Amino acid sequence: MTEKKKREHFGSKIGIIAAAAGSAVGLGNIYRFPCVAGENGGGAFLIVYLGIVLALGIPMMVGEFVIGRRSQKNPVGAFKALAPDAKGWPLIGYMVVLCGFLILAFYTTVASWTLESVYKSVINYYHGKDLATIEQGFNDSINLTVRPLLWQAVFIFISAFVIAKGISKGIEKYSKILMPVLVIILIVLCVKSLMLPGASEGAKFLFKPDFSKIDSKVLISALGQAFFSMSLGMGALITYGSYVSRKDNIVTTSLMVGLSDTFIAILAGIIIFPAAFSFGIQPEAGPSLAFNTLPMLFNQMKGGYFFCLIFFILLVIAAWTSALSLLEVVVSYMTEELNLSRRKATIYSSVGVFIISILAAMSLHDGSGLTIFGFTVFDGLDKITSMVLMTLGGLLTVLFLGWKIKKQDFEDEFTNGGTVNKRLNKIFYFIIKYLAPVAIAVIMFSQFLM
Ligand code: PFF
């Protein structure tokens, strides 16, 4: 009773955009982007980031959709189907599925902090507390044993619940509701943050580039952030691409998804930096920015209780729709390659993710000793996926598109059989064949030389 059924597809264009934007827009935009931008000079980082999104990110997103839609399969099946004669290429498929799985494990840990923050908002924990107390409280809750695991279990459960329902009745339906809610909440918060005294310093930090700050570290961080934020290099968009109908225009879809992803990251920056500057918090403050600075912002505001609560609900929503796409990578692989039912595949993969996410969470406890390669399990998973698996996955994917599959097949998929995007095809193909592999390889290897 598994794969013999007709393959499910997204039911509408808006549904595809909501689902793919749901995948792209996540903790990476609202929590990670401000952190990375803060650590890399703000405006200078933003310029490099925008360049990478336009020159590499969007073409690669189209590339992943091409592989998925052409093959109509999960990432492992897709590489096999498109290169039936080649032994090595399907390994990329396994690698991206593994990468999706590992990312989901540490993503779940961060998602559990968002649920903890919703809980704290509900009980009005932040009210009247100063920054040091809020920070201490954040560290204390990471060190707790049971509650973080409970939140992780809740997060995995709500993700598995949607995934078990399938594509149009699960992922698409929920993304169509959740994404507009997310955008509305963001815009309200943006306006609030910009009205703070001293907010213009924060805006300046984000938008006024200091070109002398651009160095190879900024380039590497921007590439890693763009990949992570646009959900590239780990099979999510190959999988979603396989549910896109032949009539839909994957190029305009990618443009819309890529640009909205970037727009939302910038909105998050507009919320966080003015607030940080207004309270005298360093923009390099890392996780503290979203989890501790913002409650301070809300503390000072009329209606702060309410805004704090909706902000953390926003983070949960963003994390949830992204987790769906990561879980779907693993579930589609298990249903199609291992012939499991969707229900079983969802249960097995969720349990697997839960186990690793427990290790990731516990590794953050003071003195836990849970380390890999000298990092906590949590940081190790982040590093292995973002520095190695994701970039390598991206590199091999563009090499596959440019050098392994037939040019004609790429063109056919890109232009919907010669009916759309004919002019853009050449440019995108050139980028995928030459520019992207060289750029990714240079940036990827240079990170090991630093
Ligand atoms: N793009 C998501 C974010 O910005 O939070 C994270 C993510 C989702 C990465 C799905 C990779 C992926 F396949």
Specify if 249 maps to a domain.
yes
**What does the pLDDT read at residue 221?**
87
Give residue 2's pLDDT band: very low, low, confident or very high (50, 70, 90): very low
Give residue 179's pLDDT band: very low, low, confident or very high (50, 70, 90): confident
Residue 398 identity (one-letter amino acid): V
What distances in angstroms separate CA 134 from CA 23, 131, 202, 294, one per listed residue?
30, 5, 21, 10
DSSP 8-class letter at 371: E
**What does the pLDDT read at residue 410?**
95
Determine the Cα–Cα distance for residues 51 and 95; give it in Å rounded to an integer: 27
Q: Please give the average per-residue pLDDT across 229-257, as a whole number.
A: 95
pLDDT tens by residue, 304-328: 898 899 889 989 999 999 999 999 9
Ligand 1 neighbours, Cβ below 6 Å, are 23-24, 26-29, 100, 103, 228-229, 231, 234, 236, 322, 325-326
234: three-class secondary structure by DSSP = coil
Ligand 1, residue 235: give the atom nearest the CA: 13
Q: Distance, CA 207 to ligand 1 centroid (Å)?
A: 25
Specify if 204 maps to a domain.
yes
- Is the per-residue pLDDT at 89 higher than 70? yes
Q: Please give the average per-residue pLDDT across 75-102, as a whole number.
A: 92
- Is the per-residue pLDDT at 1 higher than 60? no
Specify if 115 maps to a domain.
yes
Q: Distance, CA 104 to ligand 1 centroid (Å)?
A: 9
Burial class (CB in 10 A: 0-12, 13-18, 19+), 11: middle
Q: Please give the average per-residue pLDDT across 100-127, as a whole number.
A: 95
Q: Distance, CA 227 to ligand 1 centroid (Å)?
A: 8
Nearest residue by C-alpha to atom 10 in ligand 1: 231
pLDDT tens by residue, 185-237: 889 888 888 888 888 888 888 998 888 888 888 888 899 899 999 999 989 99
44: three-class secondary structure by DSSP = helix
Specify if 2 maps to a domain.
no
Q: Distance, CA 417 to ligand 1 centroid (Å)?
A: 30
Pocket test for ligand 1, best of 229, 349, 390 (most atoms within 8 A of CB): 229
Specify if 109 maps to a domain.
yes
Determine the Cα–Cα distance for residues 414 and 418; give it in Å rounded to an integer: 8
**CATH number of residue 47's parent domain:** 1.20.1740.10
Specify if 5 maps to a domain.
no
Q: What residue numbers bound the domain in which 173 lies?
A: 13-449
DSSP 8-class letter at 232: -
Give residue 5's pLDDT band: very low, low, confident or very high (50, 70, 90): low
DSSP 8-class letter at 213: G
Percent of the chain whose predicted confidence (pLDDT) is above 70: 98
Number of domains in the chain: 1
Q: Distance, CA 231 to ligand 1 centroid (Å)?
A: 4
Specify if 7 maps to a domain.
no
Specify if 4 maps to a domain.
no
Pocket test for ligand 1, best of 325, 349, 381 (most atoms within 8 A of CB): 325
**What does the pLDDT read at residue 414?**
96
Nearest residue by C-alpha to atom 7 in ligand 1: 231
Q: Distance, CA 279 to ligand 1 centroid (Å)?
A: 30
